[in-house]
Chain A
Amino acid sequence: MAYSEKVVDHYQDPRNVGSFAKEEDGVGTGLVGAPECGDVMKLQIKVEGERIVDAKFKTFGCGSAIASSSLATEWVKGKTLDEAMEIRNTEIVEELSLPPVKIHCSVLAEDAIKAAIADYKSRAQP
């Protein structure tokens, strides 16, 4: 299967790879997995006020999973938490031209964003 140019670009030059310390103030961590293929994805956000000011990811999986999470970190940066909650996997599919068998990779990235926001909120309001 051939990857789209944008997938290859994110795969070869992933944006925002790395991690924040989980316990750091303002950090939310989302860890999600795709049992159908064994991929695991960690996406972290750093929040100031209501806005996501930085994001990092680390994904162990196929090129599409890496590209989906790389793109997700680009998209959440600068968005408010509510705006980031609105990101849909279908937008990732469209942007990266993912084929049907790789749609679950984009679902994983959407789940990771939501999990990171949920983690941030639960830590912000103990």
Chain B
Amino acid sequence: MLSSIPCEQCGAALQSRLFCFACSTLQHPPNTLGLYEALGLEESYSIDPPALESRFQQLVVELHPDFYTSADRREQHQSEISSALLNRAVETLRDPVSRANYLLPRLARGTPLDERRLPPGFLEEMFVLQESLDDLLDSGAPEAIGRTRTELQERHQTLLSDLPKHFRQAEAATEPEPLQALQTTLNAERYLRRLLERFPQS
């Protein structure tokens, strides 16, 4: 649910907590401001990428410190803080994995999760895969390397494409299991990503 916080200057309902488009005034939000609030987007895993990008474009030109060089020190400082937050927000929310890693602890607030849990047998499997990659990459056999990479990429992709479904369940849930399932999935994602990083870039 989007809150309707009024502009500090003109009182109009703010689209973004960083800037009022109605009267073109820099806002001074608390430094605990969340990334979704900064952009004025509803805090949900499922986002509309074009809306994210257009909101970023709208804000980036209004907040840039270059436009505040003749403003007073407080405004200069605020434009720097807000620009940094804006950049962090768009970089984090753009990427499906970093968005997930940002959102999960916020969803889980107050729910104790096992932050280290992996699917059963997963760690053993990752170790075996890492070892077999040593031999495979040494062998230099391009076909076998390509095949293995494709398999791992597909597995990683499947994990990513299941994230929206997992988040819909976790966002609607009152019990901790869907949150833990998400945490476990995101832990597994890092191991798969590390495996994929070992392949030569093509």
Contacts and interface: CB of A to CB of B under 8 A. Distances in A.
A56 interface: no
B187 A40 contact: no
Contacts of A37: 190, 194
A35 interface: yes
Main secondary structure of the interface of A (DSSP, over half): strand
Interface of A: 31-33, 35-40, 42, 58, 60
Contacts of A39: 194
28 contacts: A31-B124, A31-B127, A32-B123, A33-B116, A33-B118, A33-B123, A33-B191, A35-B115, A35-B116, A35-B117, A35-B118, A35-B187, A35-B190, A36-B190, A37-B190, A38-B190, A38-B191, A38-B193, A38-B194, A39-B194, A40-B126, A40-B130, A40-B191, A42-B127, A58-B127, A58-B131, A60-B127, A60-B130
Interface of B: 115-118, 123-124, 126-127, 130-131, 187, 190-191, 193-194
Given A40-B130, A60-B130, A31 B123 contact: yes
B181 to A, nearest CB: 14
B115 to A, nearest CB: 7
A42 B129 CA distance: 13
A37 B115 CA distance: 12
Contacts of B194: 37-39, 60
B126 A33 contact: yes
